[in-house]
Amino acid sequence: MRYWRWLLARVSAVAVLLGLALWYRMPASGEREFRRTIEALQKVNSIHYSMLSDSKTQHTEREGEMLCSTGDRRLATRVVLHQDNKEFNIDNEVRVVDGQEYSLQASGLWQKGGSQAQAAQDGCKVLIESAYPSYLPEFQRMVEHGIIEKGEKKTVNGEECREWRVTLRTGPGPVMPQSPGAYEHRTICLGVEDHLPREMTSTANTEQWTYAFNVPVKIETPTALVPERVWDNYQPPPAGLTLSNDNDDNN
């Protein structure tokens, strides 16, 4: 009898472990899938992202990339304003290479900015700490406060992903602090194999984001630089005034 009890206990323990393994590997709930994404983001070595946004008055394109091992990164933005049947282009690009920031000027030359050595050392630490930068979905917030529904599979830039629909309530704003807020609906497509995001859209704005991870990233150091200003505080004395010589003694 004791043997059968021992055998039954062993079988039960194995069944529980198998059940947990199957639960984790089966088509996951939204919360479980997003937690896998949080884990996957902590292991990436590079990020490339782009954004398109269109409205009646403005068209915006944004493209950026970052190499996690060094923190080198690039962000290029183009804004096209539609005003009075005319278009006005605003282009901007910023690079950080080896901790040094460079910004592209209208002249085509690059202006050296401040040093960002600490940011370069951190690399993709923001992802490891789940402190998502503005270009990535806030998965932790969606896990804690969102309603997540499973969607269909699709292909984005040649890669298969599954759509997940998220409903989030936006909080009251400063104008109407007692307002219950509105609801934002996001659609995020996660890679079927690696669980990393490939695309995100939202009803809160017209932005459409696309992502690629662990792709080759090389950010060149700008060479055409704005000449650095040479500071020279020397001013000649006024006419008729000579400078005293410390070696002259009341002669």
For the record, the structure tokens of 87 come out as 């278009």
- Average pLDDT across the chain, whole number: 81
Mean pLDDT of 175-189: 73
For the record, the structure tokens of 219 come out as 């950010």
Contacts 24+ apart (CB under 8 A), 35-39: 35/143, 36/195, 37/139, 37/190, 37/195, 37/196, 37/197, 38/130, 38/139, 38/140, 38/143, 39/195
Identify the domain containing residue 112 by its residue range: 26-213
**Bridging pattern class, strands 159-169 and 147-156:** antiparallel
Q: Does a structural domain hold residue 207?
A: yes
Q: Does a structural domain hold residue 6?
A: no
pLDDT value for 69: 86
Q: How many percent of the chain have pLDDT more than 70?
A: 70
For the record, the structure tokens of 98 come out as 């080896």
pLDDT band at 232 (very low <50, low <70, confident <90, very high): low
Q: Does a structural domain hold residue 223?
A: no
pLDDT value for 250: 53
pLDDT band at 176 (very low <50, low <70, confident <90, very high): very low
Residue pLDDT, tens place only, 12-32: 554 444 444 443 444 448 899
CATH number at residue 170: 2.50.20.20
Give the number of domains in the chain. 1
pLDDT value for 133: 78
Mean pLDDT of 99-110: 93
Q: Does a structural domain hold residue 38?
A: yes
pTM above 0.75, yes or no: no
Q: Does a structural domain hold residue 19?
A: no
pLDDT value for 175: 47
Give the lowest-confidence range in 44-48, 55-59, 177-181, 195-199.
Answer: 177-181
Q: Does a structural domain hold residue 229?
A: no
pLDDT value for 204: 85
Tell me whether residue 94 is exposed, middle or buried, using C-beta atoms within 10 angstroms of its C-beta: 0 to 12, 13 to 18, 19 or more.
Answer: middle
Q: For 8-18, b where at least 16 C-beta lie within 10 A, e where not — what string? A: eeeeeeeeeee
pLDDT band at 121 (very low <50, low <70, confident <90, very high): very low
Mean pLDDT of 203-232: 89
pLDDT value for 35: 94
Q: Does a structural domain hold residue 69?
A: yes
